[in-house]
Amino acid sequence: MTHGNFYATLARRAPSAATPLLTDQSGMVYTYGDLEAQSARFANALLALGLQPGDRVSVQVEKSVANLWFYLATLRAGLVFHPLNTAYSQEEMAYFLENAEPALVVCDPSKEENYRALCKQCGIDHLVTLDAVGEGSLSRLAAEQSAVFDTTERAPEDLAVLLYSSGTTGRPKGIMLTHENLRSNAAVLVDHWGFTSDDVLLHCLPIFHVHGLFVAIHCVLMSGASMNWLAGFDRQDVRACLPKSTVMMGVPTYYTRLLADPDFSNADCASMRLFISGSAPLLEETFSAFAARTGHTILERYGMSETGMNSSNPLNGERRAGTVGFPLPGTEIRVCTSKHQPVPAGEIGEIEVRGANVFAGYWRMPEKTQEDFTADGWFVTGDQGRFDSQGYLAIVGRSKDMVITGGLNVYPKEVEALLNTLEGVAESAVFGIPDADFGEAVVAMVVAAPETTLDPDGLREQLINRIAKFKVPKHIRVTDSLPRNTMGKVQKNKLRETWR
């Protein structure tokens, strides 16, 4: 039987142990041998805690090299990695932990006391810590372990990762990604984007989400390439790393911030072969301005938490502004009516996807899984798009009404539900408006209860401690009523039009 554990695939493709893998901001170089040894130590630490294959491991920590070793260790040990945005509040975390039922929680040492109470409340036995420089009780436990570990056998269809995403109603849903989902998508991207062992990826993305954790890191590990590893996006740090890199992946905000630096030019990009953008729509003006400034045409692609990458503009061939290119090899994409009938090129419809990259279903939600898949196995994405006559796909909107700000997903219903609990708020509507820096900004219209005066700044203050900062509306306005259609549905398109 072929070893289905995705880590085993990475290990088979790894170059010699002495090959550099990662250079951090201090100039420290880590090798593929370090990856093998350190992931073994962390995997042994997980077993020392008594964890069993299939157990979930919930992780809310800052980006660090140790965090990377730990992610790979979780795969090696046959466990299920559950990464969480570092901006989530404790109130939000309570839901995730109750739903995922992890055997272990990893948090920042500064949050340990609060999380201890939360773990007790949720019946979670193990809590360990890891900070932004890779120190904490988890690292100390790992340091005591052997640097040898036999990767746990898993079947391709076994669960490897649990991600959370929510729709327009209800609470966030757990997205089940298998070892085969990860492997198939990574193999396609390495080939499609021309990754080789000569590549050096500039990694400045967070690693609690698909883009930084899977797309970027898996391309490196599957090709034996290396990384320049930054804690986050800082324009000067990125400019300093570009001459030592060959590929950069980023959200559109990264590219607008580089262009905002008048000194940024094609001289910064002399060693670069490829710039990739994703997680949010890239404005055509950014696409054009970047090409004019640097001579490089940004490659835009389309993916989701549920599917990994679905389509991409070509590595060799025309990269068309305002599009996300063609379906990737092995992935089928169709644009359909609400009854799942394909529409002709040029017409807008619902985007549906099928392939080995598509997730196994929603965690403990079989009815929702059935609802979002067609009888013949197509995943209904909730995105709207159209194919042009040459086969390029363009994303034109989101029927699920999600807002993407700085590459992060905000689900209006979640914010509205919280706004509506605040004293004096009768109802609210949350939506996105265009923003030059973040792509979209979250804003809200609220209706006051009778004989009540609302203070928009006061409402924002109340939200700040209850939800992640990126979800808090940048602006709140008070209105007498919300526009509705004949079915009573709030017409957010009208709100967007009148916002300016």
Summarised one tens digit per residue, pLDDT across range 376-388 is 999 999 998 999 9
* List of domains in the chain: 6-154 (3.40.50.12780), 403-499 (3.30.300.30)
Residue 411 pLDDT more than 90?
A: no
d(CA 187, CA 185): 6
Summarised one tens digit per residue, pLDDT across range 58-73 is 999 999 999 999 999 9
Confidence of residue 488 (pLDDT cuts 50, 70, 90): low
Confidence of residue 493 (pLDDT cuts 50, 70, 90): confident
* Ramachandran angles phi, psi of 427, nearest 5°: -160, 165
Average pLDDT of 30-50?
98
Q: In what order do the strands lie in the sheet with 349-355?
A: 331-336, 349-355, 379-387, 393-398
> What was the pLDDT predicted at 250?
96
d(CA 33, CA 16): 8
Residue 468 pLDDT more than 90?
A: yes
> b/e string for 416-425 if b means 16 or more Cβ within 10 A?
bebbeeeebb
> What was the pLDDT predicted at 102?
98
Taking the CA atoms of the chain, what radius of gyration do you get in angstroms?
A: 23
Q: Of 250, 276, 302, 280, which Cα lies nearest the Cα of 407?
A: 280
Summarised one tens digit per residue, pLDDT across range 190-235 is 999 999 999 999 999 999 999 999 999 999 999 999 999 999 999 9
> What was the pLDDT predicted at 165?
80
> What was the pLDDT predicted at 236?
98
Residue 181 pLDDT more than 70?
A: yes
Identify the three-state secondary structure at position 321.
coil
Summarised one tens digit per residue, pLDDT across range 124-174 is 999 999 999 999 999 999 999 999 999 999 999 999 999 998 544 457 899
Identify the three-state secondary structure at position 210.
helix
Summarised one tens digit per residue, pLDDT across range 281-308 is 888 989 999 999 999 999 999 999 999 9
> What was the pLDDT predicted at 172?
87
Length of the chain in terms of residues written? 500
> What was the pLDDT predicted at 21?
98
> What was the pLDDT predicted at 47?
98
> What was the pLDDT predicted at 402?
78
Q: pTM of the entire structure?
A: 0.88
Asked if 431 contacts 443 with a C-beta cutoff of 8 angstroms, the reply is: yes
End-to-end CA distance of the chain: 61
Confidence of residue 410 (pLDDT cuts 50, 70, 90): confident
Average pLDDT of 323-341?
97
> What was the pLDDT predicted at 170?
59
Identify the three-state secondary structure at position 180.
helix
> What was the pLDDT predicted at 491?
85
Average pLDDT of 251-280?
96
Alpha carbon of 361 to those of 78, 310, 369, 461: distances in Å? 19, 17, 5, 37
Residue 414 pLDDT more than 90?
A: no
State percent of the chain over pLDDT 90. Answer: 88
> What was the pLDDT predicted at 168?
41
> What was the pLDDT predicted at 390?
98
Number of Cβ within 10 Å of residue 445's Cβ equals 23
d(CA 302, CA 322): 11
Mean pLDDT (the chain) is 94
d(CA 345, CA 357): 24
Residue 107 pLDDT more than 90?
A: yes
